[in-house]
Amino acid sequence: MAFGIQRAELKSWKKAVSDGEIAFLTHYWLDERFPGSKTVTKAGCANIDKLVEWGKQYGLKPEWIDMRNDYPHFDLFGNDERRILENEGFIDQLERFGLRTKA
């Protein structure tokens, strides 16, 4: 179950993904399969080759791409989510969702 985002954020993410950009969408999310994770970040791009190449720098495997609903994306959780958001400069998302580690 996804929550904690506004419709405009989702629409903006979908447009960026459709336009072939690497786009990020973080939201609260509860799933029994992932205990301990309260958020997920979707890193998406309609250009699969571009998404695969982007993912390689973070050790993400092409078979991990979720191909549902015309918005291909990696689902990022836990330490990978924090590391990638920080590296990509999304400090605001880390703070908004309480993911920033104490330095």
Q: What is the pLDDT along the chain (103 residues), one digit of tens a residue?
A: 456 788 899 999 999 999 999 999 999 887 788 777 889 999 999 999 999 999 999 999 999 999 977 999 999 998 899 999 999 999 988 888 888 765 5
Token look-up 């690497």 returns 22
CB 13 within 8 A of CB 90: no
Whole-model pTM: value is 0.89
- Residue 9: both structure tokens together: 């954020």
State residue 36's pLDDT score.
Answer: 79
* 103, 10 Cβ separation under 8 angstroms: no
pLDDT value of position 8: 92
Distance CA 53, CA 48 (A): 9
User: Can you give the residue ranges of every domain in the chain?
Assistant: 2-96
